[in-house]
Structure 1
Amino acid sequence: MAGEEKNYRSSTGVDEFHYGIVGDELIAASIERVKFLQNITVEMPQEIVPAYGDNTTAELAVSSGDVSVTSGFHKIPIEDKQNLLGWESVEGLTAAGSNDNPPYVACVFAKTYEDGSTEYVGLPKGIFTRPSINGNTKGGSTEFSSEEITAQFMDRQVTGFSEEKSVIFARDAKGDTTNRDALFQKVFGQAYPTTTTTTSSTTTSTTVGA
């Protein structure tokens, strides 16, 4: 908007990684959170493709590749690996194999800023691939391991947009959640998740990740 001051603040943290299995219906049955996100990279490759004629460039076009996401966590719980990767669980054991069929999932994560504002990134439809298994011997000092998982996301029809999209952005000022709530509805087909605790006299609703 003309006259409105642009925001040049850089993010200083990441938080609130949520995912939901959307399948072909593109509406999540439930929204799950994986806590302790450490870092995340969203790559949106593009290249310029030229066409030539008369010894010069006649036209330029943009070729876009699939969006890839690499996420690093302190720990990915086994239940989330089962959900994201289609791993089978039998009698307390979890197994991976060549015939695993990871489901289509949607994801949202948050980038946090020192002024209290938050930018949300939504990824409407993609598939995760199984992570590597790493381990280190314990030495003279304790060191914590971390886990990394990657995914690829594709374009999807998102209500309200004229073209299919693979990444959606939303930003809220400190204390505001309007755009966050709208993004969750677009990406998951349901509201931002809350946990509700009921007692004999009162009902308290607490926002996840607050």
Structure 2
Amino acid sequence: MAEQKNYRASTGVNEFYYGAVGDNVIADYVERVKFLQTITVEMPQEPVRAYGDNQTAEIAVSGGDVSVTAGFHKIPLEDKEKLLGWERVDGIIATGSNDNPPYVAVIFAKTFEDGSKEYVGLPKGMFTRPSVTGNSKGESTEFSSEEITASFMDREVEGFSKEKSALFAYDKKGETTNRDALFLKIFGKPYPTDEEENTGGVEG
């Protein structure tokens, strides 16, 4: 009997991890940015038609660039330094026109009310610096948020015959088998435990 399909819609996102991969398939490190709020992965495709004898002779699919827009409660300066290739001198982190962002891989999780999770892995891409915004405090307290964008490309992934730009894995509540396999394919490293994980983010 075929495995039953899951038609539940996700209700949240978390577990945003990144790691510098350069031209390798093993990340130099795996880092987490906590308090992910929103994330959108654009994977455009466009049909291209060839014509002959006044009709369509053939259709091929042209894939567009994969892009990501992620919103966080806050992106720590330490993570911006790593994601964007910013320079640190005497405790000061700086950006300029000659910044050289590293190639990074990313994994994040979509969460479901039944406790299951769907993981999305993006094997190779580059983030661009976000805007700097701020608002005056008024009569009521309002929290700001930060948004950052990236572009991703195809990369060789172990076990697949062709290069890939996005991978997906689903685990039922209490299971981690597919998550762990995805981390090895995207980062070349196992899923970090609480002791091993070097987390970014703010507390509270």
Q: Same fold (TM over 0.5)?
A: yes
Q: In the alignment, is the contact (CA less than 8 A) between 2:25 and 2:157 conserved in 1?
A: no
Q: Deviations over 1:157-180 (max 9, x none)?
A: 000001100000000000000000
Q: Amino acid of the residue matched to residue 171 of structure 1?
A: Y
**Aligned mates of 1:59, 1:82 — CA distance in 2:** 47
Q: Deviations over 1:72-101 (max 9, x none)?
A: 000000000000000001111111111000
How far 1:4 sits from its partner (Å)? 2.6
Structure 2 partner of 1:56: 55
Structure 1 partner of 2:202: none
Structure 1 partner of 2:12: 13
**Aligned mates of 2:62, 2:28 — CA distance in 1:** 34
Q: Deviations over 1:113-144 (max 9, x none)?
A: 00110000000000000001111111111100
Q: Amino acid of the residue matched to residue 151 of structure 1?
A: A
Identity of aligned residues (%): 73
Structure of greater Rg: 1
Structure 2 partner of 1:90: 89
Unaligned runs of 5+ in 2: 200-204
CA RMSD after TM alignment: 1.3
Q: After TM superposition, what 4+ stretches of structure 1 lie above 3 angstroms from structure 2? A: none
Aligned length: 198
SS at match of 1:7: coil
SS at match of 2:96: coil
Q: Amino acid of the residue matched to residue 90 of structure 2?
A: E
Unaligned runs of 5+ in 1: 197-204
**Aligned mates of 1:172, 1:195 — CA distance in 2:** 19
Higher relative contact order (CA 8 A, sep 6+): 2
TM-score (norm 2): 0.94
Structure 2 partner of 1:40: 39
SS at match of 2:25: coil
Structure 2 partner of 1:202: none
TM-score (norm 1): 0.92
How far 1:111 sits from its partner (Å)? 0.3
Structure 2 partner of 1:201: none
Structure 2 partner of 1:142: 141
SS at match of 1:131: coil
**Aligned mates of 2:38, 2:179 — CA distance in 1:** 20
Q: Amino acid of the residue matched to residue 72 of structure 2?
A: F
